Amino acid sequence: MAGRPSVRAVGGRDGEGDRVTGVEGGAGRVAGGGPLLLGVRHHGPGSARAVRAALEAARPRIVLIEGPPEADSLIPLAAEEDMRPPVALLAHAVDEPGRSAFWPLAEFSPEWVAIRWALRHEVPARFIDLPATHTLAWGRDGRDEPVGEETDGTPDAGSGGADGHASAPLSPSAPSPAPPPASEADVRVDPLAVLADAAGYDDPERWWEDVVEHRGTGERDAFAPFVVLEEAMGALREVYGTGGHERDLVREAYMRLQVRAAQREFGDAVAVVCGAWHVPALREKTTVAADRALVKGLPKVKADMTWVPWTNRRLARVSGYGAGIDSPGWYGHLFSAPDRPVERWMTKVAGLLRDEDRIVSSAHVIEAVRLAETLAVMRGRPLPGLGETTDAVRAVMCEGSDVPLALVHDRLVVGDVLGEVPQAAPAVPLQRDLDRIQRRLRLRPEALERELELDLRKETDAGRSTLLHRLRLLGVAWGEAVASWGSTGTFRETWRLRWEPELSVRIAEAGVWGTTVLGAATAKAEADAVSAQGLAEVTALAERCLLAELPDALPVVMRVLADRAALDADVGHLAQALPALVRSLRYGDVRGTDTGALAEVAAGLAERIFVGLPPACVGLDADAAEEMRRHVDAVQGAVALLAEAPPAGDPAADRPDPDLRGRWHSVLRLLSVRDTVSGILRGRAVRLLLDEGELAQDEAARLMGLVLSPGTPPAEGAAWIEGFVGGGSGGGMLLVHDERLLGLVDAWLTGVPAEAFTDVLPLLRRTFSAYEPGVRRTLGELVRRGPGERASATAAGSAPPGFAPDLDMERADAVVPVVRLLLGLDGGSRGHVENTDDDTDDDRDDKNLAGVA
């Protein structure tokens, strides 16, 4: 190994033009025999360049690649114009689509380079790893863990963070690593980290850049890196064995069998591209019988395979990908940059920062390049690496700030690249239908997260909303509904979209429900309704069916809902179910869906809640009372909507019950005066009646005075206060504007005995800490003035400082034009005010504004 080995190309031509069929020289090579083994790092641009150079020099008659053999028929698709990496081979069990595995490939993956080289030179290419039919079944017999949905399908021994593969032209004199302690015998070793440590590096990625990425492809001997690497991996395997993964023995036995089969067909003109860790095992002299014994009797399942788009983020190690790398965007740049990689990288960074409105000039780029080169010299590196360029960008372009640097890391070092797969690639029918709908709605999958504003009054936006809701019902979480800023109208939706590669697995799983998105969502909704555990789950499903526009599934869901509602006597369950039903009425009204059956069920649920709520509120402990308070709040909002919303499609029809709100108020009155009801519920009932105008302020003050009298236990009084002014209900402003109530609270609080104050303090702190800072400051100022000053001001009939004694209508009217202008109500524009009703008269707007004033 002291000198460079003499190598003649396998199946190529020698210096005189005569064809040769063997490779002479190299570790373990015998002149005239043996395949060309190219050990690689799975996602290494240095490995990719070295593989391309070796294949060009060797000109083999067949290329064997580590990967599932079921994908052999998919290899020609890699030459299609529409195929753009990163992509991945996806295998899933036909009978159990959730059992799946990925084999990702980037532009700088050596396997991808080998595939493209073979297709360009019309040389056969085959995958030789353990078939996916066994990989997916592994673990069912208890031999090992099953392959997960987010693995790369190639769980190589010692993968760790660097996948256990490297292709560095190592120095033959590198020291041998010490054997692992006995306690670590079963831990998967990371060969890249071991080699880096042996070379004196504390960072495997930095070592990889120095010995591979920065060496280029200018060496005369294209095979030297692989020869030296084979020796290094052989030394590591002598120490670590299989590196802690028993499955590798089986995989390597299968690969040896495939290499022998190729040799029988093509002679020794065979090139094998595989993980560097496996090269010594493939070179090992074993018998065919021994290898067949290892792979005999493996479990299997029926598997399907196809190409799917992949993303740079899923190539990153932080995503949990076993063969992940830290900087896929940086590696892609190194692979694709023909020259001056540092200068070109700094130009990319400057363009990104300029797009974000940061001032970056050409001088910044020049100085950043100079600084990166200087840092490389000071650190003893052959060329600036990612560390040097990052430090230079931080100092020169980001002015020492890590905030814009985080953007550079996210957008460029990792990247948002999403691959593309041609339409000719095999896919389940559901995927085909989804592709067709995406093209029709102009809603392309993107790796970068983005927000999508939808106006359901527009046909295209309504279709997009329907698609996203149907996919969520199928478990394909492409989009997440978020709050719409500046809008409360039910015809406005905001979605946060991001396409992740594993969604392809979810689509394959959902394919069991149907061949179209509509049919699959309908079947899934019907099945979910039957299997639902609780009433609230069924009502939520009914709401989702309306949002997804599944008219065929809604009758089944409603039948299950009616049956469950008739049998469920738990008021808490009924109270949880009612709000979803009422929201469904509103959505149905906007989307033009017939929700008459929903209105009937909702009215029946409300009636049962009215009857069962008072007894259910008796004898509750603190936690149960707090939970019931939330139910009361939810029912309050649902009753308000239900009493106002006519059945969809028939605006002239009678409301479900004109006296619905009146009966609810009767329930609240009963709760507010019943001594056996918890204080928090009585306080909340009084507050709701006060807000609804069903209770005068004098009466509310009287009830508060009674509950805060000395005869009431302090803990009960504190609970009543929390129910009345707590829970994020705007109680702070109520106390600010009504000094009588504030005086009652203040007087009660100052009169609480010392021994009881410690018990009520946490409850009061929880109540008042929820107020806005400005409200707390105002309350503090009012309390600081003292009860005497407040009492005298009240007796004199004057208002507290900062408040008028009564509403000044003239000043309020002067504000209305400005508010109308801010809300876009002038000039016939109502862009920011959204209401599902047709009543949009100026009179109604003025009434609303007057209420705000």
Most distant pair of Cα atoms in the chain: their distance = 117
**Mean pLDDT confidence for 30-41:** 72
Q: Encoding tokens for residue 535?
A: 């009433």
* Under 8 Å between Cβ of 603 and 507: no
Pairing of strands 100-105, 450-455: unpaired
What would the pLDDT profile of 448-499 be if each residue is shown by its tens digit?
788 888 888 888 988 999 999 999 999 898 988 887 665 555 678 889 998 8
Least confident of 97-101, 147-151, 718-722: 147-151
Q: Say what percent of the chain tops pLDDT 90.
A: 22
Mind listing the pLDDT tens digit for each residue in 523-582?
A: 999 888 888 877 778 888 888 888 888 888 888 887 887 777 777 677 777 887 777 777
Question: Does 183 have pLDDT greater than 60?
Answer: no
Residue written as token pair 């509120």: 617
pLDDT at residue 118 is higher than 90? yes
Average of per-residue pLDDT across 109-132: 94
Higher pLDDT, 95 or 27: 95
pLDDT over threshold 50, residue 21:
no
Give the mean model confidence (pLDDT) for residues 8-17: 35
Q: Which amino acid is at 676?
A: T
Write out pLDDT tens, residues 496-511. Answer: 998 887 788 788 878 8
**What does the domain layout of the chain look like in residue ranges?**
36-319, 337-415, 429-513, 809-852
* H/E element, 537: helix 535-547
The larger pLDDT score, comparing residue 795 to residue 159, is at 795
Distance, CA of 207 to CA of 196 (rounded, Å): 6
Phi, psi of 735 (to 5 degrees): -70, -35
Least confident of 22-31, 570-579, 662-671, 768-777: 22-31
pTM > 0.95? no
Q: What is the mean pLDDT of residues 211-222?
A: 65
Of the listed ranges 17-26, 348-357, 620-629, 765-774, the one predicted with least confidence: 17-26
pLDDT score of 634: 84
Tell me the CA end-to-end span of the chain in Å, nearest whole number: 89
Q: What is the mean pLDDT of the chain?
A: 76
How far is 667 from 442, CA to CA, in rounded Å?
51
By DSSP bridging, strand 87-93 and strand 36-40 are: unpaired
Question: Residues 672-714: pLDDT tens digits?
Answer: 888 888 888 888 888 888 888 888 877 877 887 777 777 778 7
Residue 650: predicted pLDDT: 47
| Predicted local confidence at residue 122, as pLDDT | 94
Query: What is the layout of strands, in order, in the sheet containing 450-455?
Result: 450-455, 492-497, 479-482
Q: What's the pLDDT score for residue 253?
A: 93
pLDDT (tens digit per residue) in 273-296: 998 889 999 988 889 999 999 988
Given this model, what pLDDT does residue 827 score? 52
pLDDT for 229 equals 83
Identify the three-state secondary structure at position 89: strand
142 has a pLDDT exceeding 50 = no
SS3 750: helix
Is pLDDT at 185 greater than 70 in this prediction? no
- Mean pLDDT (whole number) for 603-613: 81
Sign of CA dihedral 25, 27, 30, 35: negative
20 pLDDT band (50/70/90 cuts)?
Answer: very low
**CA nearest neighbour of 95 among 137, 135, 67, 129:** 137
Indicate the helix (H) or strand (E) that contains 196. Answer: helix 191-198
Mean pLDDT for 291-309 is 89
Beta-carbon-side half-sphere exposure of residue 489 (alpha carbons within 13 Å): 21
pLDDT of the residue at 657: 60
Would you tell me the crossing angle of helices 660-673 and 596-616 to the nearest 10 degrees?
A: 10
Q: Is 160 left (phi over 0), alpha (psi -120 to 50) or beta?
A: left
The type of residue at 688 is: L
Q: In the structure encoding, which two tokens stand for residue 574, read together?
A: 């009924």
* C-beta separation of 691 from 636 below 8 A: no
pLDDT digits (tens, 9 = 90+) for 783-840: 777 655 545 544 444 444 445 666 778 888 888 888 888 887 765 443 333 444 444 4
Q: Quick one: pLDDT at residue 805?
A: 61
Classify burial at 553, counting beta carbons within 10 Å of its beta carbon; exposed 0-12, middle 13-18, buried 19 or more: buried
Dihedral Cα 636, 638, 643, 646, nearest 10 deg? 170
User: Tokens 């919303």 map to which residue?
Assistant: 645
Q: Which residue has the higher pLDDT, 238 or 697?
A: 238
